Amino acid sequence: MATVSFKGATRVYPGTDTAAVQALDLEIEDGEFMVLVGPSGSGKSTALRMLAGLEEVNDGSIYIGERDVTNAPPKERDIAMVFQNYALYPHMTVADNMGFALKMQGIHKEERAKRVLEAAKLLGLEEYLDRKPKALSGGQRQRVAMGRAIVRSPQVFLMDEPLSNLDAKLRVQTRTQIAELQHRLGVTTVYVTHDQVEAMTMGDRVAVLKDGVLQQVDTPLNLYDRPRNKFVAGFIGSPAMNLLDAEIVDGGAKVGDYVVPIARDLLAKAGSDKTVTLGVRPEALHLADDGLPVKVAVIEELGSDAFLYGTAEHTDLNQQIIARIGTRLHNDKGEIVHLAPDPDKLHLFSASTEERLVS
């Protein structure tokens, strides 16, 4: 096991002017499960491939433990990678797939069989060892790919969206298994996903990237409760945070005709800006007599929860608003309701810098 360090690591693809990963500084602790998350094109997979040695590092450096691996070939980095498409050999059995890398390393047959069986027990694959990949389900193939990584006993696991080919139910089940397995093995793991729910539920810490730039790295709950900027606030959380442009007035921020009360010292942090962005999580909105008027579009009843989707018609933009409300409230489509935010759960973002304002 080992730490991983990105020190100003930059990757610029030939023929492009913009860096795919820009001066990435990231410290990953020994045994930590670090998730890299962001939208398509954010640089998360490129960063992972730089760590794996599959992409050139144009500037900066990468360390695994105390060793500078910036220019080391992949086979000398002591890493194991789990790919999105599993990359199993179709003509080999599960046991042969899992033990293939050990065979290439010259590990004796008996030792290979022992390590494959140990990994198979961990993953519940014992009864499938003699089958070929075509006889397995997607979830089973994914576990074989995990097993192939485990038997190598690497210093670092690298996982590139390994759940993206699974159906929704299996994704939930498998992500729990991966997180539990990683915790049991204690191997430093870097996991890439575009799914922020995966990131929030699996990672010890989460690094959020946008356009190749690291926006924030923190625990899942801190990202949710204290996003550093407007992008992180809107990206982390499902359903997403409501972000509303508001005019700064005496006593608060005005959205349409509704004034949201905000402390004077916090508003002062906006400096010369005339407007701010209000961030309100769906669970921080409640039905009220006085609040932002919202036209109901649909109510999603989920049994234990219900979400109201509507449009705030205070501007021509007809901005979508999402609120978590009590179940079995029968508001009709097209009806106007009023939603007010919990003042203790408001987030305020600078209109000019998009950074979160903190008093």
Return the pLDDT at 327: 67
Residues 183 and 83 in one domain: yes
The predicted model scores a pTM of: 0.91
**Cβ neighbour number for residue 312 with a 10 Å cutoff:** 20
User: How far apart are alpha carbons 125 and 113 in whole angstroms?
Assistant: 14
Residues 29 and 109 in one domain: yes
* CATH number reported for the structural domain that contains residue 80 in this entry: 3.40.50.300
355 in a structural domain: no
Residues 197 and 257 in one domain: no
Residue 299 belongs to domain spanning: 240-350
Residue at token pair 């991983």: 4
Structural domains in the chain (count): 2
Return the pLDDT at 330: 67
Residues in the chain, pLDDT under 50: none
Return the pLDDT at 316: 63
Q: What is the pLDDT of residues 212-246, one digit of tens each?
A: 999 999 999 999 999 999 999 999 998 999 999 99
* CATH number reported for the structural domain that contains residue 333 in this entry: 2.40.50.140
User: How far apart are alpha carbons 164 and 145 in whole angstroms?
Assistant: 14
Closest to 272 measured CA to CA, from 352, 158, 166, 218: 352
User: How far apart are alpha carbons 314 and 298 in whole angstroms?
Assistant: 19
Q: End of a domain among 184, 205, 234?
A: 234
Residues 8 and 157 in one domain: yes
358 in a structural domain: no
Q: End of a domain among 207, 234, 261?
A: 234
Q: End of a domain among 198, 218, 234?
A: 234
Residues 267 and 119 in one domain: no
Return the pLDDT at 333: 81
Return the pLDDT at 165: 81
Phi, psi of 157 (to 5 degrees): -95, 135
